[in-house]
Chains A and B, each alone.
Chain A
Amino acid sequence: MSATAAVPAKAQGTGYWGGVARRFLRQPLAVAAALVLLVVILAAIGADWIAPADPFQTSVARRLAAIGTPGRPLGGDELGRDMLSRLIHGGRVSLAMAIVPVAVALVIGGFLGVLAGYAGGAVNMAIMRVMDVFYAYPSILLAVAIAGALGPGMLNGMVALTLVFVAPIARVAESVTTQVRANDYVVAARLSGAPTWMILRRHVLNNVAGPVLVFAASQVSVSIIAASGLSFLGLGVSPPQADWGLMLSALRQALYVNPWVAALPGAAIFLCSMAVNIVSDGIRRAMELRR
């Protein structure tokens, strides 16, 4: 949608991407957000080494312990487990729940969209009308209904979210591909008899990848929120795994007793989603060629 506006007129070669990188680095906020995101991702990957305590070790005495309690630097959760360690491990699950569906949807939706856009005609018609069917549901409703039908669990939640993101990504990919296909240099290449795969690789993919990736990146933040919402309803991750949504849900009663500790999972979701949004915004701005 908004990404379609960002279609570059002609965007190939390292010069263009170098320019994008330079323009991105000129935005201090976006760089800061990227750093935050990097830290979160590294912490998630290295959770087993970084987390100071065992995220499953309960301690009745340290239930809802305050921030700064010895052995519980960020307090204790409803079973007295270490919040900091649980946030780090939970981040791994939350990020996986957010990124995997978008990534899978990117592959499926991107493929379908490019195929529809490049082939045009009946193929386009067939693919895009099917996509329209999935587009016909408010996104959270679709995710809740599918996850509800499949039952709780991380995998089911991921399947539900993936189905939500395929159609929008396919739409963006299709519309960008259609525009690129009509460009002079592609038409010229086709007329000169270049093989389809080469046109696709050299011209289409190069030009389509950027906007579609930026759009997909912006969807990661939608996915973080939606995934946590599923967990909140009891339709997402199930114990002993805990994502931030499930932690938020389990701690929502403790908001009355120890608000600072109980608010941490929500704050983590917010921080992460905000960082994703700022970064994808920053990339989009960096890709907009000033007139």
Chain B
Amino acid sequence: MTCSTKLRRFATALLLPALMGLASPVVAQGTLRVAMTLADIPLTDGAPDQGTEGVRFSGITLYDGLTNWDLTQAERPAELRAGLATEWAPRPDDPTRWIFKLRQGVRFHDGSVMNADAVIFTFERALNSNHPAYDVSARRQLQAFIPAVKAWSKIDEYTIEIETNGIDSQLPFQMTRLFVVSPAHWEAVGRDWNAYRRNPSGTGPWRMDALVPRQRMELVPNREYWDAARRPRLDRLVLLPIPEVSARTAALLSNRVEWAESPSPDSVPRLRQAGFTISTNAIPHMWPYTVSVLPDSPFHDIRVRQAVNLAIDRDGLVQVLNGLAVPSIGNLTPDHPWFGTPSFRPRFDQAEARRLLAAAGYGPNRRLPLKFIISASGSGQMYPLLMNEYVQENLRQVGIDLELQVFEWEALRGRRRDGAQGASNRGVHALNNSWNSMDPYNGLLRFFGPNELPPNGTNWGNIRDEVLEGLAERVKGEFDPQRQAALLAQIHTRFVDQAYFIWVVHDVGPRALSRRVQGHVHAKSWYVDFSPLFLR
């Protein structure tokens, strides 16, 4: 490549976004076809199932929360921004009562007005089993994500109040998951949530045009979307459920889709060669081993926890995954404001690992037998068989005989709900379950303390730690963002120093994109905004 062409490319790279900014955003530009990893279209009624991928495709496309995630930049972790609420704050006289001011002039896809009644209706249908619109499916999908909510009431046409279970500064994060649905439309479709799913109505930037279960969902732009900057530029967005990874690769290579979620590491070279971009960014996710610290587990001993953390060659694993992961040395990435300053650093040091194991009483003559439960596949589990086999071999080198017990994903979730203390998990020393870490509760607070023991929470390993529990109480009562972040950093520092998890990698949310796809921002989030996309 000559110097001048380089220069020209550089200039184009600089100029193109500027030119695009000038282009009229209402000019519709193409049909984008996306291969999802799901086996079916996630539920479209504002309470999507199938985890974060469900929210990505059927949640934030069709609906808005009271708060939304800001997905416009790829450098820092995604932050909250105003959604259907324009401002929110706890009442000064009672911090368990929050006032949310709602956005005016927003209409649902069915034309009805979004107001306080609609938000109250959304709460009722998920959480009030006596309400005529109560839907058990919505409760299942939502309840775990809005644990702070205790009560709700309308103050005026565009103001509501939400009461929390105790003081809880985490409410605004949780409101990203409460997708507001249209009471008028629910009446219009005959008070039937199944009918609503076939013909949904939200306030989101996309409206549903067609739905063929297990085959296809087609979305078209909502030209009246309240945020003009987020009005979609595409003509149409087609979402295809293709769970088999080789079929997704084939679909890309034969130009049946322009976008595929989660390509397999082994297909990456071939996809690059065919001109596809593999887009990645660290997303708030971790793929660790959640260990049991019960007295009968070897992980009761901090030296064993640290030793195993030191035995794993994370860089090698990332290489095996063709770069579709980043090494994980904590619940969060080191550049995260809550990462803190842990003194224990999980690195690859098998000599130190052997030394720690020897100190704990294990050695060549007394190999350490461990048993982990893992899944064969599942949401967020990345490439579980490959990765676990890799770790198994790492541990063998330091004198640990790791037995992997493989479960199908739903069965593993059952084991997760039983907790390490459960009878079914007797003799099991760790659970390989990936966790999202997008907010303080999900990333840190749910993994320790008595209130989070399964089935109520996800303190699977029975971690009791007075330092952590004290800090957690203070976080819930701290409303100042900076002081809150400082407390969270202290929690994370303690958590890593105690080596309460065995960290392996973070997911990077890989997606393979055709060169025709323009305007893509890979936010540090589980979610993606399809609005700025267009096809060349």
Residues of chain B lying within 8 A (CB to CB) of residue A251: 266
Which residues of B are found within 8 Å of A80, using beta-carbon distances?
Answer: 320
Judging by beta carbons under 8 Å apart, are B385 and A239 in contact?
Answer: yes
* Residue contact B266 to A253, C-beta cutoff 8 Å: yes
Q: Which of A56, A148, A238 is B393 in contact with, Cβ under 8 Å?
A: A56
Which residue on A lies nearest to B245, using beta carbons? Answer: A253
Sort chain B's interface into a size bin. 20 to 34
Evaluate contact between A78 and B266: CB separation under 8 angstroms: yes
Partner of B249, one of A56, A78, A148, A253: A253
A253 touches B320 (CB 8 A): no
Given A60-B319, A253-B245, A253-B246, the answer on whether A238 and B406 have CB atoms closer than 8 Å is: yes
Taking residues whose C-beta sits less than 8 angstroms from the other chain, chain A's interface range is 20 to 34
Q: Are B408 and A152 in contact (CB under 8 A)?
A: yes
Q: Which of A63, A78, A151 contacts B408 (CB 8 A)?
A: A151
Q: Which of B113-165 contact A (CB under 8 A)?
A: none
Report chain A residues within 8 Å CB of B264. 253
Contact A60 B377, beta carbon cutoff 8 Å: no
Contact A58 B270, beta carbon cutoff 8 Å? no
- B contacts with A: majority SS: helix
For A153-173 the 0/1 string (1 means CB < 8 A from B) is 100000000000000000000
> With A253-B267, A257-B267 as given contacts, are A238 and B404 in contact (CB-CB < 8 Å)?
yes
A234 contacts across to B, CB distance below 8 A: 376-377, 408
Q: List residues 131-181 of chain A with CB under 8 A from any CB of chain B.
A: 148, 151-153
Interface string of B377-415 (1 = CB under 8 A from A): 100000001101110110010000000111110010000
Interface digits, A46-61 against B, CB 8 Å rule (1 contact, 0 not)?
Answer: 0000000000111010
Asked whether, in the complex, the Cβ of B249 is within 8 Å of the Cβ of A256, the reply is yes
Residues of chain A lying within 8 A (CB to CB) of residue B404: 238-240
Q: A240-B404, A252-B246 are known contacts. Are A152 and B320 too (CB-CB below 8 A)?
A: no
Is B455 part of the contact surface with A, judged by Cβ < 8 Å? Answer: no
A56-B320 in contact given A151-B407, A152-B406, A253-B266 (Cβ < 8 Å) = no
In whole angstroms, how far apart are the Cα atoms of A99 and B61 in the complex? 52
Set of chain A residues within 8 Å of B246, measured between Cβ atoms: 252-253, 255
B507 to chain A, nearest CB (A): 18
A152–B393 touching, CB < 8 Å: no
**Restricting to A208-267, which residues have a CB under 8 Å from any CB of B?**
234-235, 238-240, 250-257
Expressed in whole angstroms, the minimum distance between the Cβ of A258 and any Cβ of chain B is: 9
Q: Are A152 and B376 in contact (CB under 8 A)?
A: yes
B450 sits at the interface (CB 8 A): no
Is B316 part of the binding interface, using a Cβ–Cβ cutoff of 8 Å?
yes
Give CA–CA (A87, B107) in the complex, Å.
62
A58 touching B408 in the complex, CB below 8 Å, given contacts A252-B246, A254-B266, A256-B270: no
**Are A238 and B376 in contact, CB atoms less than 8 angstroms apart?**
yes
Of the candidates B269, B316, B319, B389, the one having the most CB atoms from chain A within 10 angstroms of its own CB is: B389
Query: B251-274 toward A: CB 8 Å interface, digit per residue (1/0)?
Result: 001000000000011110110000
Chain A residues with CB under 8 A of B386: 78-79, 250
A254→B408 CA distance, assembly (Å):
24
* Cβ-defined contact, A79 with B389, below 8 A: yes
- The chain B residue sitting closest to A255, CB to CB, is B246
- Complex: A254 Cα to B263 Cα, angstroms: 12
B372 nearest CB across to chain A (Å): 11
Query: Counting CB contacts under 8 A, is A276 at the interface?
Result: no
Closest to A63 in B: B320
Q: How far is the CB of B300 from chain A (nearest CB, A)?
A: 26
CB distance from B322 to the nearest CB of A (A): 9
In whole angstroms, what is the CA distance A256 to B276 when docked? 14
Closest to B412 in A: A151
A257 to B253, CA, bound (A): 13
Which residue of chain A has the shortest Cβ distance to B244 in the bound complex?
A: A252
From the candidates B249, B269, B390, B407, name the one contacting A58 in the complex (CB within 8 A). Answer: B390
* B402: nearest chain-A partner, CB-CB: A240
Contact across chains for B320 and A250 when beta carbons are under 8 A apart:
no
Select which of A250, A252, A253 is within 8 A of B385 by beta carbon.
A250
Chain A nearest CB from B167 CB (Å) reads 43
Complex interface: chain A residues within 8 A of B319 (CB): 60
Q: A239 to chain B: which residues have CB within 8 Å? A: 385, 388-389, 392, 404, 406
Residue of A nearest to B267 (CB): A253
Name the B residues within 8 Å of A254 (CB-CB).
266
Q: Which residues of chain B come closer than 8 Å to A256, judged between CB atoms?
A: 249, 253, 266-267, 270
* Interface of chain A residues 71 through 115 with chain B (CB within 8 A): 78-80
When C-beta atoms are compared, the residue in chain A nearest to B387 turns out to be A79
A56 vs B396: C-alpha distance when bound (angstroms): 10
A-contacting residues, B78-93, CB 8 Å: none
* Cα of A153 to Cα of B405 in the assembled complex, Å: 8
Closest to B320 in A: A60
Q: Is A64 an interface residue (CB 8 A)?
A: yes
**Do A148 and B408 form a contact, CB below 8 Å, given A78-B386, A239-B385?**
yes
A148 to B407: give the CA distance in the assembly, Å: 10
Q: Are A64 and B377 in contact (CB under 8 A)?
A: no
CA A252 – CA B250 in complex, angstroms? 12
Add 14 more A-B contacts to A254-B266, A257-B267 (CB < 8 A): A56-B392, A58-B320, A58-B389, A60-B316, A78-B266, A79-B393, A151-B411, A153-B406, A238-B376, A239-B392, A240-B392, A253-B265, A255-B246, A257-B266
Of all A-B residue pairs in the complex, the 6 with the closest CB atoms, nearest first, are: A238-B406, A253-B266, A256-B270, A234-B376, A253-B264, A254-B266
Q: Which residues of B contact A (CB under 8 A)?
A: 245-246, 249, 253, 264-267, 269-270, 316, 319-320, 376-377, 385-386, 388-390, 392-393, 396, 404-408, 411
- Listed by A's residue number, 15 A-B pairs whose Cβ atoms lie within 8 Å are A56-B389, A56-B392, A56-B396, A58-B390, A79-B390, A79-B393, A153-B406, A234-B408, A239-B385, A250-B385, A253-B264, A253-B267, A256-B249, A256-B267, A257-B267
